[in-house]
Amino acid sequence: MRYHLLSALAATAVAAAPAAPSESYDYIVVGSGPGGGPLAADLARAGYSTLLIEAGGDEGDNPTYADIANFNEAANDEMTRWDFWVKHSDDPEQDLKFEHTTWDTGDGTFYVGLDPPEGAKLLGIQYPRASVLGGCAMHNAGVCSMPADDDWNIIVEKTGDTSWSAENMRKYFKKIERNEYLAPGDDAHGYDGWLATSVADNSWAKDDSLPGTKILRKLAELTGQDPDQAADLVNRDILEVGDKVDETTSFYNMVTHADSKGKRSSPNNYVRATLADPAEYPLTVKLHTLVTRVLFDEASLANGSTPRAVGVEIMEGASLYKADPKHADGATGPVSQIRATREVIVSGGAFNSPQILKLSGIGPADELAKFNISVVKDLPGVGENLGDNYEGGVLALGAAPIDTGLITLLFRTPSAPTAKRNIYTWCGAFSFEGFWPGFPTYHGPTQYECAMVHLAPKSQAGSVRLVSADPQDRPEINFRFFEHGGDEDLAELVEAANLLRKAFQAAGDPVLPFDELHPCPGSAANRTCDDAAQAEYLKLQAYSHHATSTCSIGGDDEPLAVLDSKFRVRGVEGLRVVDASAFPVVPGAFPSCPTMMLSAKAAEDILAAAEETDKKRRRLFA
């Protein structure tokens, strides 16, 4: 096996090793998350020497990450957490109304809230990412869902590349999936892939005496489903295929990328399996290694020909990036270069991929000029088009605890602009209100929430922009929530909240009355807020954690297109971006599984290109 170690894989750690000046590989993949990790494994399994570079370490055997139930602890863990402090708008006064605004107190602790102590330094709105082998698929809740067909087909419309059709994209999910909840033979699923999928036991829904079941039945009534069928519908396959699936309002059983024993399944597993395989695939993993820029062929830069990526510059050491809470002021590491004989693939995610491109001279020329970065290719779309789902929820405290499982529902609100469903909600005895150090707040044993994700947000006006030419600095991230179509999106969220709130009232004794915490505080007897007040609350308190689209695929006629349909960075050679930043629009409710599908497609495209190149070489030298 070709990988760097401090200890054997059985002892859990794949560790960083210094790069020799002559070190080179066919492919270099930067970032090991849902885009880069599987891609590197696929390239190596095809026989190409591949280097996978990850800024973090390997926590694959750590129960905090390996057990999917510990996802809240994983996202809070300083072992892997990168803290990005983002903005939701261009109005600083509006952002300061976000109830979980975070401040640095100066004594090693955070203050979260609206009334910081004197002298506290404003940080902003926390947006944690995972610096670890496997990326954010190692600290998320593991929800696996499909985008609407239109979210794939838009790429066909933009580029003319029919390989992006929703029908064709499904084959990549079947390729990677190892389904553990359906009997083999379902044509919509795969059973031999590296990604385990599983569902929860929803037998609780058969007990009509439970308050949670009463809420379930009321939700069925409110959304046009048969309450008497609700106990069966909660086991419906949320990954089903068929006509008008995206227009179907229904309960489902939430699927997670975890096995039936509750062990997380992620790119970490696939990378480690590739390293450990007796076939000795040519995969090398470098951990605790920060990529500072992509290198380009000097001759092509000097003679004005199309620039070609030929490698990367790296800085080695743990916690070098300033988003890492363990970063020590002034800490740096040795800098060296590694060569790629075929291609460099950037898979750093929606924040770091555009940052790496810009530091390498690819991005808006005026922005690069501010930091004296030589322009390799003026691409105005790099770091633009940032999008995300809006998230919120109806959270209340009952008079008694609710013993229930999870209700998963996809539905359409009355003002949705198309026939497609626009809300993904899950309801249960939990509290989830966004991200801040130490989230979530436990409101006691009687807490009950219907959290919701808004599908197909109308605004993708956010940006990721440099603050310096220092690769250790965090970029400035501004989502510009509700910039376009904001009133319409807020109306849809309010409609969803009103429907969910009605269902709460079906819980009966001893749970009632509910005391709602937000978005409309109080009980049914004394609640006074109207739709406008709810919309204002949601506008100020919406949160997100599905950032995409900052290096988006687009057509030749689109000024902000960064990639072509084969993931190639426009205007240069030998460089691709393969991660969630490539999506032109936010893909459904949860991007983890769609990004793994995208990764499998990228592997196919890259390997096809390599085969074609090799054929040309053979003809040339025949």
Residues flagged as binding site: 132, 140-143, 291
Q: How far is CA 593 from CA 90, 171, 176, 364, 580, in A?
A: 32, 13, 10, 30, 10
Looking at residue 565, its amino acid is S
Q: Which residues of 598-619 are buried (b: 16+ CB within 10 A; e: fewer)?
A: bbbbbbbbbbeebeeeeeeeee
Burial class, 46, CB count within 10 angstroms (exposed 0-12 / middle 13-18 / buried 19+): middle
Q: Which two tokens stand for residue 21?
A: 């000046």
Task: Please calculate the CA angle 74-34-450 and round it to the nearest 5 degrees.
Answer: 55
Closest CA to 441 of 381, 546, 518: 518
CA distance 591 to 34: 9
Q: Render the burial of 472-506: b for 16+ CB within 10 Å, e for the rest.
A: bebbbbbbbbbeeebebbbbbbbbbbbbbbebbbb
Residues with Cβ within 8 Å of residue 574, at least 6 apart in sequence: 308, 309, 310, 340, 342, 343, 344
Q: Which of 597, 566, 578 is nearest to 190 (CA)?
A: 597
Cα-only R_g, the chain = 24
CA–CA distances in Å: residue 29 to residues 39, 53, 175, 346: 8, 6, 21, 6
Strand boundaries in 206-257, DSSP class E:
250-252, 255-256
- In the block, which residue shows the tokens 């002892």? 11
Count other C-beta atoms under 10 Å from residue 588's C-beta.
22
Query: Phi and psi dihedrals of 226, rounded to 5?
Result: -85, 115
**Lookup: tokens for 355:** 């940052």
Other beta carbons within 10 angstroms of residue 378's beta carbon come to: 15
Helix, strand or coil, per DSSP, at residue 372 = coil
Torsion of CA 417, 351, 369, 345, to 10 degrees: -110
Contact at 8 Å (CB) between 258 and 142?
A: yes
Binding-site residues from annotation for FAD: 132, 140-143, 291
Burial bucket for residue 235 (CB in 10 Å: 0-12, 13-18, 19+): middle
Q: How far apart are CA 522 and CA 517, in angstroms?
A: 7
Output the six-digit token pair for 102.
């975070």
Q: Would you state the structure tokens that stand for residue 268, as one six-digit string?
A: 């970490």
CB 315 within 8 A of CB 473: no
